[in-house]
Structure formats: structure tokens, C-alpha cells
Structure 1
Amino acid sequence: MKKIIQIARLELSLLFYSPIAWLLMIVLVVQMNLSFLPVLPGLTQGQNLGFLTSKVFTNPEELGVLSRILEHLYLYIPLITMGIISRETSSGSIKLLYSSPVKLSQVIYGKFISMLVYNLLIIGILTLFVLVGAWFIPHFDYPHILVALLAIFLLLSAYAAIGIFVSSLTTYQAVAAISTFVMLAVMNYIGKVGQDLDFIRDLTHSLSMPSRTERLIAGLLNTRDVIYYFVISGMFLAFTITKLELERLSKSTLQQAGRYALILLIGLTIAYVSSRQPMIGYYDATSTKVNTITKTGQEILKNMGDEPIEVTEYINGFDQSYFNSSPAERIADISRWEPYFRFKPNINLKWVYYYDSIPGTTSFLMEQKMSYNKYVTTMALIQEIDLGNFLNVKEVAQQVDLRGESARLVMQLKYKGKTTFLRTFPPPDQKFWPGEAETGAALKRLIVTPPKLVFATDGYQRSMDKVGDRDYKVLANSKTSRASLINQGFDIDSVSLERNDIPKDIAALIIADPRVEFTAAAKAKLQKYIAEGGNLMIAGEPGKQHIVNPLLDSLGVQMLKGTIVQESRDYSYDLLTPNLAPGAVAMDKRLQQYYSYGLMVSMPGAGALSYVSKGPFTVYPLLMSNAQTSWLKKGKFTLDSAALTVDHINGDQQGSFPTALMLTRKVNKKEQRIIVAADADFFSNTELNRNNMQTLNTAFAMSMFRWFSYEEFPVDASRPPSKDNAVTLTKASIKPIQILFYGIIPGTLFLLGMVLLIRRKRK
């Protein structure tokens, strides 16, 4: 070990007695300056939404200065390693090494250690920028950045080992530098080669080093990637030692090739075994564990036991969603499931490609007078696909029923004979793939009985299947909407109270805006359902109190005459924006932050509710109108340019009124849950997509249905908010930072290098 250290010290002295090492460090500082310093003024604007450590340093989609430097790191090593061995062979000093008592392995290890020290200096330069970030970001995520710096160090070390090997292949330093450039460039970009070919994809990806570094920089420290870099470094050092040893030994070409092959075999075996899922150890260094599925997701996978899960993607080559899961995207597709592989390795992924016409094709073919076969041929040319690798409609129908999925990419999950769909989402959804909430809901549906929400259809009620402004398809039954209840784990159905009995064991019955009085028979069914402890939601509209109130009699709730109007400069007076009441937080603790912020729910045309405090149910208001800006207006009124005023003569009432109530009681050892709302629009298609004010209609609606399912669905995939969500950086403090990094640091490195080189020349 002493000889190795002596060789490392000698190599370092040679390295820093040349201008290249100093010049490259100065170039690195300048390059980091160009990435880091221009973004500082933007951080002082105060428009930060958390995860600042990641945004500034590791997220390539944001600022990600450490992530972006990865693209250029391979340019630094070749100029350092180009002479590390070739210098010995060109000068003839290699012969002295052959005859000296020092082993060749000690020489190579010593030279490699000198490179590790230089790599640490590079990490030190990067750390200067990290320290500045830690200074102006309170609650800086140190573990995450330490793992990121470790990843960069491992990558640089692997580059150094490759550079040392290439340097041993030639006596010319320039050739060694160029060859190392080429080899590292290949290792950087080989991961993009042949990704659409099954037999090449895994091989080229396994040789791609930056892709592994990206995973580590994201904060997920894992044994597979760390061992991989150790293996690469060890293999190329072993190649170098073998190369030098074989130069002084008389071996046949076959024997030499066999030795190299043995080293390669050992390295690949170690890399393969360490990459098997049961062998991988993980540490998520991020403060909020963003690389790890939540405790809820982990519990779902744990409850599934040892039985395998089969996930089959059905990809239509004629739909635009094909490009998100084409063979070229297979590696990225698999990586999305890695957080789940950690806790359940036997998730088996399959891909089935087929071709089918997309919605609207039939009318298009009629207009263009085009045959279906011509359409298929044309689409295959446009999409650049080989139909020989795709199933047709009849063939895929033998495997799965995709009717109703709009010919889009969809995943079928199969477990113990049960199946369910996991869908993808088109624009305007900004994320194509399902998130953890949707994935968790699909997995949970395989092990529990999904809660069923049943919408009553009598009395011309709002429809769960229509896309009209006042209907409910977006929330209830839209397969292309991420927040739709069917994509959050619920089953949706409908029932006519006049013709059919109310189904048993449902999560809730929804009666939304009945416009015709129920018959005595329908009322009897409803009263029986309530008496037996069934969960219920009744949403009425002003002007229909005479229809709604008879349904509410047994609940001790009534809908008051009149409409609540709200004074507003920008909006119509009948657009009410009640605030959350404490009862909403009792219904769902996730609403606590919205309650504390005073956020609102939009209710166009809402009535007021009254209730009996000592009735059969415990009652809590969920939403309350604002007593200062709104009042209950009686009688008819006209919404025009004239502002409405309180008319006490005609019975107008000022005050704060509940517009939604939560009712509970114990029936048959179960808590019965009922919600009454004096507005049926707040979860309609229009209100869920309102964009002219900030509302929480979607969150509030989801909380209601989560309450009805006794917190089973939607699956809670929430995480604690990040603490690094603010900066102390001011415009005044940017100038000193710029002086430090633009002038002092590179100037100091330049002066140190000059002093050392001048002293060396004098000696």
C-alpha cells in the first residue's frame, strides 16, 4: 500500500506541474458559472413552489445545474489521462517498471488513485456552488445533494479507469486523448442506440453510464448502480494490468483473448447478479422520499402477498399514444414500474401491439370515400410501423375487451384471476402516464371489493354519462380524465327508483337535482334505504324545494326558500363561493390546508339549508356562505346591470348559511353517512373546469366520495410538503456571488497554477 501511495503522489505532482490540470478546473468553474449564476435573479422573484434543492441542482427539467454538467464531464478526463500510461511507454520508462520490484498492479492502482484525487478536486469545485445554494435555501436537502455528488464522483472514476486503459494502448498522447474522447462519447450515447430492437435494447442500455448517474442524481442511492460503476472501473483497470503484463509474456492470441474474456465475464456476471431485483438495496435520500412509493402504496403491495401481478399494455399503433410506448420507449416504460418492483419484484410486464381505427374514422372514411384497407395502409405509412408485428382488431379481441377505451393505450392488470384497467390520459392533462394514485387504485381494486356509486336517474336528474355543462361525466365516468371516479378506484352505475330496487352494499346513492316529484313507491324505496343505514347524497337546486324537501323530511334537514346571492364586482350575483367549514376538515383531514387558506367552492345558483340540531343525525356544516358579502334572497330576481340589494320587505335574510351538510349516525354497527347540498352544480362538468377563479371543487368532491368509501378510495398518494420552499437570496446579495465566482475563484486557481508552474520551472 505504501508503494501505491508513493506512485499516486508522484503522478499527482506530474499532473499539477502541467498547465492542463489547472486549465480544466478553470474551464469547469466558468462552465458552472454560465449555468448557475444567470438563474439566481429568477429565484428572488418569490414564485417558488418547493423542492428548490432539486430544481436548482438535480432536476434536468428545471435548472438542474448538476444534471446538466453530466453532458460535458466526459470532455475533462481524456486530457488528464492521455499521458498517464502512454508517457511511460513513449519515453521507455515502462521497461524500468517491468524490471523494478514494484508490481504492475501497484503502478496502475497508484495512477488510478491519483485520478481519484483529481476527481475529488472536481467535486470540490461543484461543492462550492452547492454551498452557495445551501446558504440561500433554508432547509436545504443535504442528503440528496451528497448522493448526487457521489454519483458524479463514481462516473468520473469510471471515466478515469477507461482513460487509463486507452492510454496503455498507444505511445502517442494525442491518440490516447482522441481515442478516450471517442470511447467515452460512445459510452455516453450508446444508450440511445437500437432502443427499438429487443435484442439490442438491453445490451446498449446496460452499457450507458449517464442513465445510471441520472437515477443517482435524482436522490435514489442503490447498490445496482454503485456496483456497476465499481465493476466498470475494476474491469478497465484489470484490462490495463493485463495489457501491460502480456507485453512481457509470450502468450498466444487465443490465451490473451481468453484472459480478457475472463475479466469481461466476471465483470458482467457481477453486474448482472447485482442488478437482479431481489439483490438491489435502496436508499431514498430525498427529504420527502419522492423516489419511493408512499406508505399506502407499499401497504397495498404487501397485502397482495407473493402472488404475481401481470401488467399488459395494449398499444394501438394508429393512435398518438403509440409513441409513448413504442419499442424505443421500452426502457423508460420499465423504469416507471421500478418503484413498485422494489416492494413486489414479481410484477410481470407485457406489451401487445395492435392496430385499430381511432374514434371518428368511420365518418372520415365516408367523406374521403376511402376503404378501410386503404386507411390501414395509409396509417401504417404515417406512423412508420410494420403491421406484421401488430395484431388486428379480431386477434386482440380474443385477449381482451377494449371496447369503450377509445382505441388508446391502456394497461390491464391481472391478479388471481381478477382484472382491471389502468389508463393513460390525453391532453390537456400534462402527464400522460397514470400517477401513483391511479396505479394504487387499480392495484387495490384487485384485492378489495371496489366501492360502487349509484346515480338515480328518475326525475330528469343530472347524468353521469353526458358531457353537458350541468352533467357529471368528467367527475364520474370519463375514462380520459385522471380525476374521474372510475380512474380513482370506484365502480359507477345508475338506477331508476321508479322501476328498480336500490342495489345492496353500495358506497352511496346520489340523487342530483330531481326536477319531478318522486312517486310514493320511489319515496318508500328511498326511506327504506335510509332506514337500513344506506349512504346517500342529495343535491337540490333553488326553485325545486318542493321536490327536494319531501326527500329530506326523515333527515331533519330542509332547503329554505330563496337563493343565496353574493355581491361581486366581476361575477354574476348568483355565483356563490362559500368557504369550507370545520366540518369539512372532520370529513377529510386533507382539506385542512385548504380550510386554513380560506379557499372556496364555486356554486352557481345555490340555496340555503336548515337542520334540526337534536334530530336523528349528528349534523355538521361543510360549506358556509359569507355573511358580509352574501344574503338569502327571497322571490324572483333579475340578474342584469343593476346591482342587487338586500330587500328586507320581501323577506331577504342576511347571515351565514350552510350550503352543504354532513350527517352521520350509527345503524347496524356501521356509521351511516349522508351529504345534503343546496346546489347540484358544484361538481358538474363546467364547475370542475372553471378557470376564471381559484376553486377547490375537485378536491372537495373527491373528499366527499372518499368519505362515502370509508377512506378506501381514492388512494392517498399525498406526501408531506417540501421544506425547501423559499429562498433568502436578495438582489443585493447576487453581486458578491457573481464577483466570487466570476473573478475570485477562477483568479485564485489561475494564480495557484502559475505560481506552482513557475517554481517548478525554476527548479
Structure 2
Amino acid sequence: MKKIIQIARLELSLLFYSPIAWLMLLILFVQMSMGFTPKLPELVRGQGFSGLTERLYMSIDYAGVLSAILDKLYLYIPLITMGIISRETSSGSIKLLYSSPVKLNQVVYGKFTAMLVYNLMIIGVIALFVLIGAIYIPHFDYPHILVALFAIYLMLNAFAAIGIFVSSLTTYQAVAAISTFLALGFMNYIGTVGQGIDFIRDLTHSLSMPSRTARMLAGLLNSRDVIYYFVISGMFLAFTITKLELERLSKTVFQQVIRYGLILAIGLTATYVSSRQQMIGYYDATATKQNTISKNTQEILRKMGDEPVEMTEYINGLEDSYNQATPKQRIADIARWEPYLRFKPNIKLKWVYYYDSIPGLTVQLKQQKVSFNYYVMFMSNLLKLDLRKFLTPAEIKKRINLEGENARVVMQLKYKGKTTFLRTFSPDTYFWPKEAETGAALKRLMVNAPKVVFATDGYQRGMDKVGDRDYKTLTNTKLSRGSMINQGFDVDSVSLERGEIPAGIAALVIADPKVAFSQAALTKLRKYISEGGNLMIAGETGKQGVVNPLLDSLGVKMLEGTLVQESKDYANDLVAPNLAAGAIAMTPELQPFYLQKWVVSMPGAAALSYDPKGPFVVHPLLTTNAESSWLKNGKLVLDSAAAVFDARAGDQKGSFPTALMLTRNRNNKEQRIMVSGDADFLSNAELSRLNMTTINAGFALGIFKWFAYGEFPIDTSRPDRKDNATTLTKGSVKTIQIFYYGVIPGAIFLLGMVTLIRRKRK
């Protein structure tokens, strides 16, 4: 060890008595400063950013300083390592090393130790930019940034080991530098080669270095990638020692190949074993554990036990979603499943490519008088599809029934013989399912999905209709992430007049009945309520006479008249009640929205009243603003003058509930009923409203989660990030700019110049 340290000290002195080492540090600092410092004034102007540690340093979208420099670091190492061995060879001093009592492995390890120290100096230069965040960002995410710096250091060391080996192959330093550039460039970009071919894709991805660092840059430290960098460094150092030893010994080509092959085999074996999912250890360094699935999803996977889960992804080559799931994107697809594989390694991933008709295509082909086969050949040539790798329409239909899935990319999950679909979404800022949808699909494989049934009598709102007043967006839109069928629910409909209310359902929904139910239907409904069934009744103004007979036994009443809210921008009958405390009791996830005073849009709502001594415990879910709204008596006319409060006409000021939750114990469980004075708040139009910030969708799913006793949707929420503000001021930014544009680079330059001048004098 003493000799290794002595060699490392000598190598460092040679390194820093040349201008190249100082120049590399200076260029690195200036390059990072030009990308980082201009972002600081923006932080002073706006303090509403979220996750500043990640945003400033790791974010790819925001060009974080670490992610931006990651793909350029390989440019700095070759000029440092180019002479580390070749200098000895070209000057002849290598012969002295051969004859000295110093072992060759000590020489190589000493030179590599010198590079470890130099790489630490590179990390020190990078840390100067981290220092700004540590000083000016309260709640700075230190573990995340430390893992990121550690990952970069590992990559630099691997680069250095490769550079040392290349330097041992030639006596010319310029050739060594160019060759190292090529080798590191190859390792830097090899991960993009052959991504459309299974074997080549897996091989090239395993050789890609920056992709591994990028994973750890996100804050997820894992043993697979750490061991990979140690193995790469060890392999190339072993190659270097072998190269130098073989120059002293007379060995046949076969013996040399065996020596190198053995080193390579040991390295690949270690890499392969450490990359098996069962062997990987993880540490999520982020403050909110954003790289780790939530506790709820972890519990779902734990309850699945040792039984495998099969994920089969079906991709139609003729549909636009194919572009999101081509074979070239397989690595990214696997990466999306890694958070789940971390807790359940026996999830089997499969991909099936096929071609089949897409919605609306048959009509278009008939209009153009073109056959489907002709269209397939035309599109395959246009998209360069090898149809031999795609199942035909007949073959895919024998394997699975995908009717109703819009011919899009869809995943089928299978567990213990039970299957469910996991869908992709459009239009959506993120095409793939997120943890909420994936967790819901996994849980559906273990439990009976809660079924919500919608009554169809009396011209009620339809769960399968796309009209503004209907409910398809909420309940049954397969392309919508927030739709109930994608959050774990089953939905169905029933006629109270002609059918029977199904047993075991999560809730019955009666939305906007326009005609009175018959006595037979009322009898069925009252029996359902008396037996403890969960129920949602949503009425509309003008229909109090239809709805109140349904509410009599509940101790609730829809008041006559229409709620009015003063507004400069909206119609007076558009009421925007706030979440009440009862909403938090119903769904705790709504608490942040309650504290921020979010509203639910309700056009044409009626006020509700209830008997506190009735058969149910009642809590308001939504209440109107007493200062800006009132209950208008009589008919509300909107097409003339603005509505005006008139106490003489019977108008009533005050805060009125527009939605209530009712509970009582019945048949050894809590019966849950929700009553609303408006049916539009669940409608397609209100869930898509863009001219007002509302919580309609979240409130709607909260209601059905309450009906499902918390089973669905899956709660995947995480704590809010705390590093959301800075203490930067205009003055401090100016000071930082002076230091990072002038003082620090000047200090590096002067330190290098002084060192070189002193060396020259000696």
C-alpha cells in the first residue's frame, strides 16, 4: 500500500505540473457556470417552484446542472489519462519499472489512485455549484444530491480505468487520447444502438454507462449499477496489468486470449449475477421517496405472495399508440415496471405485436374503395413494419378478445387465473398508466372489484353517453385516466321499474330523475335502503317533487328555489360551493384542497336541509358562500337582468349545504348515503371545465372511494416536497455571478499558473 501511495503522489505531481489538468478543471467550471448561474434570477422572481433540489440539479426538462454535464464528462478524462502509461512506454522508463522491486499491479493501482484523487477534484468543482443550493434552499435534499455526486464519481472512475488501459496500448499520447475518446464515446452512446432487436438491445443497454448514472441521478441508489461500475473499473485495470505482464513474458496468442477471456468472463458473470432482480438492493435517497411505490401498492404486492403475475402488453402496429411501444422503447417500458419488480421480482413481462383494424377504419376504407389487406401492406411499407413479427387479426382473436379496447396499446395482467386490463391514455400528458392505475389493476386481481350501479329510469343521466350532462367521462371512458373503470371499479346499470337491484354492490346511483318512480320501484328502493345498501341521490332544481319522496325516509329535503351566486364572469346559477369539513371525514385525501378552499362547480343547484335528529348522522360535504350566494325563491330568469337578492320575495341569505353525507350502522356495517342538490357536478361538461379551477373530479372519486370503504381508488399520495423556496435576493445573485463568472475561475487559473511557474523554476 505504501508503494501504491508513493506512485500515486508522483503521478499527481506530474499531472499538476502540466497545464492540461488545470485547464480541464477550468473548462469544466466555466461550462457548468454558464449553464447554472443564469437560472438564479428566475428563482428570485418566482418563489412558487416545487422540488428545487431536483429542478436545479437533476431535472432533464429544466436542464439541471448535473444532468446537463453528465453526457459531456467523458470528454475530460482522455486528455488526463493519455500519458499515464504511454509516457512510460515512449520514454523507456517502463523498462525500469519492469526491473524494479515494484510489482506491476502496484504501478497500475498507484496510477489509478492518482486518477481517483483527480476525479475527486472534479467532484469538488461540481460541489461548488451544489454549495449554492445548500446555502440558499431551505430543506435542501442532501441525501439525493450526495447519491448523485457518488454516481458521477463512480462513472468518472470507470472512465479513468478505461483510459489507463487504452494508454497502455500505444506509445503515442495523442493516439491514446483519441482512442480513449472513441472508447468512452462508444460506451456513452452504445445504449442507443440496436434498440429494435431483442438480443442487441439487451447487450448494448448493459454496456451503456451514462444511463446507469442517470438512474442514480434521480436519487435511487442500487447495488446493480454500483457493482457494474466497480466491475468495469476492475476489468480494465486487470486488462492493463495483463497487457504489461504479457510484454515481459513470451505467451502464445491462444494463452493471451485465454487470459483476457477469463478476466472478461469473471466480470460479466459478476455483472449478470448482480443484475438479477432478486439480488438488487435499493436505497431511495429522495426526501419524498419518489422513486419508490407507495406503501399501499407495496402492501398489494406483498399480499400477492409468491404466485407470479404475468403482464402481457398487446401492441397494434396500425394504431397511433404503436409509436409509444415500439421494440426500440422496450428498455424504457421495462424501467416503468422496475419499481414493482423491486418488491415482487416474479412479475413476468411479455410483449405481443399484432395488426388489426382500428375504430372508424372500415368506414374509411369502404368510402375509398380500398381493401383492408391493401391498407395493411401500404401502412407496413410506410412504417417499415416486418409483418412476420406481427400476429394477424385472426391469430390475435384466438389468443385474446380485445374488442372494446380501441385497438390501442393495452396490458393484460394475470394472477391465479384471473385477468384484468391496464390501459394507456389519450389525450394525456403521460401516455402510460401511473401507480394509481397500476395499483388498482393489481388489486383487482385479488379482490372483487366494487360495482357501482346507475339507475336508468326516469330519463336519468347515462353512464355510457358522451353528452354534456351525462357521466361517461367519470364512469366508463377507457381512454381517461380518472375514469372509474381505470381506478378499480366496475360500473353497470339497472332499471328499478323492470329489474332488481343487484346484491353486493358498492352503491346505487340515482342521478337527476325527471319523473316520479312507481310504487313498485319505490318499494324496491326502500327495501334496499332498509337493508343497509349504499346510495347516491343527485337531484336538480325544479325536480324537488320527484326527488323528495326518495329523501323522506332519510330525514333530508331539497328546498324549493334555486341557489344563486354573484359573479362578474359566470351565470348567476353557477354555484361554486366550498368543501366542508365533512369532505375530509369522507376522504382524507381531500384535506389539502379543503385547506386551499377549492370549490366544486354546480350549475343550477338546489339547497338541502336535514333533520339532526333523523335516522342518520348527517354532515355537509359542500356549502355555499354566505356572502356571495343566496337561495332564490321562485323561478330564476337568467336571460334578462342579473339576479338580485329580494328578501320580500322570499329570498334567503346564508350558507346552504349542496351535498350531504349520511351514515348509520346497519347489518354490522356502516351504511353510507350521499345526497346532492345538483347532478351536473359529475357531468362530462363539469369534469372538463377549463374556465374555473375546480375539484369536481377529485371530489367525485372521493365519493366513490367512500362507498368502496377505501378499497379503490388506490391512495398513492406522498408528502409534499419542502424544498420549494429560496432565500436568494437580487444582491446575493449578483454576488454569486461575480464569484462564479470571475473570482473562482480566476483563482483556478492563478493557482495553476503559480504551480507551473514554480515547477519551471525548479
Structure 2 residue 703 is the aligned partner of structure 1 residue 704: yes
What is the identity, as a one-letter code, of the residue corresponding to 2:698?
A
Mapping 1:113-128, distance limit 5 Å: 113-128=113-128
Single out whichever of 47-56 and 105-114 deviates more from structure 2: 47-56
CA contact 1:39–1:63 (8 Å) conserved in 2: no
CA–CA distance in 2 between the matches of 1:373 and 1:379?
Answer: 10
In structure 2, relative to structure 1, the CA distance for the partners of 1:202 and 1:173 (3 Å cut) is: same
CA–CA distance in 1 between the matches of 2:605 and 2:42?
Answer: 43
Residue in 1 aligned with 2:263?
263
CA contact 1:425–1:431 (8 Å) conserved in 2: yes
CA–CA distance in 1 between the matches of 2:483 and 2:511?
Answer: 17
Query: Can you list the C-alpha shifts for 1:493-535, whole angstroms capped at 9, x where unaligned?
Result: 0000001110000000000001111000000000000000000
Residue in 2 aligned with 1:563?
562
CA–CA distance in 1 between the matches of 2:47 and 2:480?
Answer: 28
Residue in 2 aligned with 1:726?
725
CA contact 2:317–2:353 (8 Å) conserved in 1: yes
Structure 2 residue 313 is the aligned partner of structure 1 residue 313: yes
CA–CA distance in 1 between the matches of 2:42 and 2:408?
Answer: 40
CA–CA distance in 2 between the matches of 1:192 and 1:360?
Answer: 36
CA–CA distance in 1 between the matches of 2:329 and 2:37?
Answer: 35
Give the match's secondary structure for 2:660.
strand
Query: Can you list the C-alpha shifts for 1:461-503, whole angstroms capped at 9, x where unaligned?
Result: 0000011000000000000000000000000000000011100
Residue in 1 aligned with 2:38?
38
Alpha-carbon offset, residue 172 of structure 1: 0.2
Mapping 1:573-584, distance limit 5 Å: 573-584=572-583
| Length, aligned pairs only | 762
CA–CA distance in 2 between the matches of 1:636 and 1:105?
Answer: 95
Residue in 2 aligned with 1:54?
54
Alpha-carbon offset, residue 460 of structure 1: 0.4
Residue in 2 aligned with 1:627?
626
CA contact 2:562–2:636 (8 Å) conserved in 1: no
Give the match's secondary structure for 2:310.
strand
Alpha-carbon offset, residue 33 of structure 1: 0.7
Residue in 2 aligned with 1:131?
131
Residue in 2 aligned with 1:430?
429
Alpha-carbon offset, residue 404 of structure 1: 0.4
CA–CA distance in 1 between the matches of 2:539 and 2:49?
Answer: 38
Query: Can you list the C-alpha shifts for 1:39-62, whole angstroms capped at 9, x where unaligned?
Result: 111212325342110111012122
Residue in 1 aligned with 2:381?
381
Structure 2 residue 513 is the aligned partner of structure 1 residue 514: yes
Query: Can you list the C-alpha shifts for 1:111-132, whole angstroms capped at 9, x where unaligned?
Result: 0000000000000010010010
Structure 2 residue 340 is the aligned partner of structure 1 residue 340: yes
Mapping 1:84-123, distance limit 5 Å: 84-123=84-123
Alpha-carbon offset, residue 693 of structure 1: 1.1
Give the match's secondary structure for 1:665.
strand
What is the identity, as a one-letter code, of the residue corresponding to 2:725?
A
Residue in 1 aligned with 2:637?
638
Structure 2 residue 460 is the aligned partner of structure 1 residue 461: yes
CA–CA distance in 2 between the matches of 1:715 and 1:733?
Answer: 45
Residue in 2 aligned with 1:758?
757
Mapping 1:54-453, distance limit 5 Å: 54-427=54-427, 429-453=428-452
Alpha-carbon offset, residue 382 of structure 1: 2.3
Query: Can you list the C-alpha shifts for 1:208-242, whole angstroms capped at 9, x where unaligned?
Result: 00110001111111110000000000000000000
Residue in 2 aligned with 1:470?
469
CA–CA distance in 2 between the matches of 1:688 and 1:97?
Answer: 77
Structure 2 residue 625 is the aligned partner of structure 1 residue 616: no
CA contact 2:453–2:491 (8 Å) conserved in 1: yes
Structure 2 residue 661 is the aligned partner of structure 1 residue 662: yes
Single out whichever of 165-174 and 382-391 deviates more from structure 2: 382-391
CA contact 1:85–1:167 (8 Å) conserved in 2: yes
CA contact 1:19–1:757 (8 Å) conserved in 2: yes
What is the identity, as a one-letter code, of the residue corresponding to 2:601?
S
CA contact 1:468–1:685 (8 Å) conserved in 2: yes
CA contact 1:341–1:347 (8 Å) conserved in 2: yes
Runs of 4+ more than 6 Å apart: none
What is the identity, as a one-letter code, of the residue corresponding to 2:316?
N
CA–CA distance in 1 between the matches of 2:92 and 2:320?
Answer: 63
What is the identity, as a one-letter code, of the residue corresponding to 1:422?
L
CA contact 2:316–2:356 (8 Å) conserved in 1: yes
Alpha-carbon offset, residue 641 of structure 1: 5.0
Give the match's secondary structure for 2:564.
strand
CA contact 1:515–1:544 (8 Å) conserved in 2: yes
What is the identity, as a one-letter code, of the residue corresponding to 1:99?
S
CA–CA distance in 2 between the matches of 1:382 and 1:513?
Answer: 50
Residue in 1 aligned with 2:481?
482
CA–CA distance in 2 between the matches of 1:359 and 1:65?
Answer: 45
Give the match's secondary structure for 2:45.
coil
What is the identity, as a one-letter code, of the residue corresponding to 1:56?
L
What is the identity, as a one-letter code, of the residue corresponding to 2:187?
M
CA–CA distance in 2 between the matches of 1:265 and 1:637?
Answer: 83
Residue in 2 aligned with 1:529?
528
Residue in 2 aligned with 1:714?
713
What is the identity, as a one-letter code, of the residue corresponding to 2:179?
S
Query: Can you list the C-alpha shifts for 1:633-678, whole angstroms capped at 9, x where unaligned?
Result: 1111211352211122221111111000000000011000000000
Residue in 2 aligned with 1:748?
747
Residue in 2 aligned with 1:653?
652
CA–CA distance in 1 between the matches of 2:660 and 2:690?
Answer: 26
What is the identity, as a one-letter code, of the residue corresponding to 1:209?
M
CA–CA distance in 2 between the matches of 1:559 and 1:382?
Answer: 61
CA–CA distance in 1 between the matches of 2:330 and 2:676?
Answer: 48
CA–CA distance in 2 between the matches of 1:461 and 1:641?
Answer: 30
Residue in 1 aligned with 2:28?
28
CA–CA distance in 1 between the matches of 2:118 and 2:639?
Answer: 76
What is the identity, as a one-letter code, of the residue corresponding to 1:397?
K
Single out whichever of 641-650 and 616-625 deviates more from structure 2: 641-650
Alpha-carbon offset, residue 87 of structure 1: 0.1
Percent pairwise identity: 71
